[in-house]
Amino acid sequence: MSNELKLNSKVTLNNGVQMPWLGLGVFLAKEGTEVVQTVKAALKYGYLSIDTAAAYNNEEGVGRAIAESIAEGTVAREDIFVTSKVWNSNQGYDSTLAAFNESLYKLNLDYLDLYLVHWPVKGKYKETWRALEKVYAEGKVKAIGVSNFQVHHLDDLLQDATVVPAVNQIELHPLLAQQQLRDYCKSKNIQVEAWSPLGQGNLLDHELLKKIAAKHGKTTAQIILRWDIELGVVTIPKSVKEHRIIENANIFDFQLDAEDIAAIATLNENKRFGSDPDNFNF
Ligand code: NAD
């Protein structure tokens, strides 16, 4: 990956829409002051992308932070990239259309940049996808995609889809490198986005990663996030602490070398910290 990337650099999705390489994830950022301050701090520092979901119960706070940041002249709406997701209990055609409108309303926006099917709910995700295709056709969202879809879910979806998902947001970190799914998505021109890129904080004391971090004068978190970029994967680390939000964004002033990439590749053990997309019950 080029060393010329910056915090405001973007990847072009399969429909021409541009998506920032780095965004802020806000899962478990509390609705109200916490999420408002977190999102405002990130936008102020130069983040251009925010990843929320109906299920995170913080869309109103995210919307307030965006509105205040625009009013204060920190950002312009057209410069930022806002993602939300339809929750499992709302899957199905009509209920997804309603859920989309509710997210838009809570976020206080007139369009979203990306709307995702949060999980591949059996027997439902195709109808859900038809609803996403409709809001996309109406121009209410710039791009549509999926999350937690395995190769077989994508194969199945693509049989009927008229729009190929622009993004697949999946759990991905050095212990779960997702090589096969990444290769598949690349072959279909679906951009991969990493959730829990830091393994929910569990990978930060890993000896090998610490060694690579020391070599570059960087933190372990920065090594992992730069690794995502080197793989061509969009990444959305979460933190509500301003100094970590800043730390996580400072990954554009160095590069990993082939030796680092090869060393990190040895860490894969197909280990999930989150749920298995083929076996979840929510
Ligand atoms: P993560 O891997 O981003 O880890 C977050 C945790 O790591 C934080 O709570 C914090 O304790 C710690 N941390 C962050 N930066 C750090 C730093 N620089 N130094 C030390 N510790 C640090 O985990 P996540 O929140 O699960 O994932 C990121 C985002 O991905 C979420 O906020 C959400 O937006 C998205 N996500 C999506 C799904 C999905 O099903 N689509 C599932 C989980 C998460």
57-87 pLDDT tens trace:
999 999 999 999 999 999 999 999 999 999 9
Cα(110) to centroid of ligand 1, in Å?
27
**pLDDT band at 111, cuts 50/70/90?**
very high
Nearest CA residue ID for atom 14, ligand 1: 239
Residue 136 designated active-site: no
pTM over 0.95, yes/no = yes
Does the CB atom of residue 88 touch ligand 1 within 6 A? no
Does the CB atom of residue 237 touch ligand 1 within 6 A? yes
Q: Which of 47, 56, 115, 136 is catalytic?
A: 56
Does the CB atom of residue 136 touch ligand 1 within 6 A? no
**pLDDT band at 2, cuts 50/70/90?**
low
Does the CB atom of residue 49 touch ligand 1 within 6 A? no
Q: Rounded CA gap, 143 and 138, in Å?
A: 11
State the closest ligand 1 atom to the C-alpha of 170, by its place in the atom list counted from 1: 41
Q: Which residues contact 111 (CB under 8 A, 6 or more apart)?
A: 104, 139, 140, 141, 142
Q: What is the pLDDT of residue 50?
A: 98
Question: What count of other Cβ atoms lies within 10 Å of the Cβ of residue 282?
Answer: 9
State the average pLDDT over residues 29-37. 98
pLDDT in tens, 150-208: 999 999 999 999 999 999 999 999 999 999 999 999 999 999 999 999 999 999 999 99
CA distances from 53 to 101, 177, 178 (A): 13, 24, 23
State the average pLDDT over residues 245-253. 98
State the closest ligand 1 atom to the C-alpha of 29, by its place in the atom list counted from 1: 32
Nearest CA residue ID for atom 7, ligand 1: 201
In whole numbers, what is the pLDDT of the chain averaged over residues?
97
pLDDT in tens, 198-225: 999 999 999 999 999 999 999 999 999 9
